[in-house]
Amino acid sequence: MKTDLYTKVILTIIAVALTLNLLKGSITPAMADNKKYVTLPVNPDGSINVNINKVNESMDVNIKSVERGAFYYVSPIPVKIEK
């Protein structure tokens, strides 16, 4: 008798938790991460025009790290360095 009551209570708790989880998923949108992406126009040759404003001198650019999957689905972007 006690086993039957225990099983019913546990299954009821699981059912309520699953129902709440289902409702929570339909109310809040799923977000993969908090990164924001933009679409850039690409030139016919595949290059992208970049305009950096308010810089009167040369900039030192050092890439410290890149996430492992950052360029997984992206083809390389050619970069022209002018001196």
Q: How far apart are the first and last CA of the chain?
A: 85
> C-alpha angle 27/33/35, rounded to 5°?
120
pTM score over 0.75? no
* 47 close to 41: Cβ distance less than 8 angstroms: no
Tens digits of residue pLDDT in 26-40: 666 666 666 666 677
Percent of the chain with pLDDT over 90: 16
State how far the Cα of 70 lies from the Cα of 33, in Å rounded to an integer.
Answer: 13
